[in-house]
């Protein structure tokens, strides 16, 4: 299992990325979906609490 390094990101939201990865950056292009999945607790820990709703971005 790969180690996370969220140094300096404590409290930031986590999202599902465009390739289904966990990311700090929400998708932002038209047609993409944004789903929040958790929050960074410390540099190596994330609290996952997926939000079952999502938003599809449009132009």
Among 3-7, 13-17, 29-33, 46-50, where is mean pLDDT lowest?
A: 3-7
Q: Structural domain boundaries of the chain?
A: 13-56
What is the distance between the alpha carbons of residues 23 and 19, in angstroms, rounded to a whole number? 10
DSSP assignment letter at 31: T
Half-sphere exposure of 28 (CA within 13 A, CB side): 4
Please give the share of the chain, as a percent, with pLDDT higher than 70.
Answer: 97
> How does DSSP classify residue 19?
T
Q: Which two tokens stand for residue 4?
A: 């996370």
pTM of the model: 0.82
Show the tokens assigned to 14: 């986590």
């Amino acid at each position: 299992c790969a180690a996370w390094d969220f140094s300096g990101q404590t409290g930031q939201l986590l999202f599902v990325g465009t390739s289904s990865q966990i990311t700090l950056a929400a998708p932002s292009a038209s047609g993409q979906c944004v789903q929040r999945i958790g929050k960074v607790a410390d540099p190596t820990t994330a609290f996952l609490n997926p939000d079952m709703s999502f938003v599809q971005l449009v132009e």
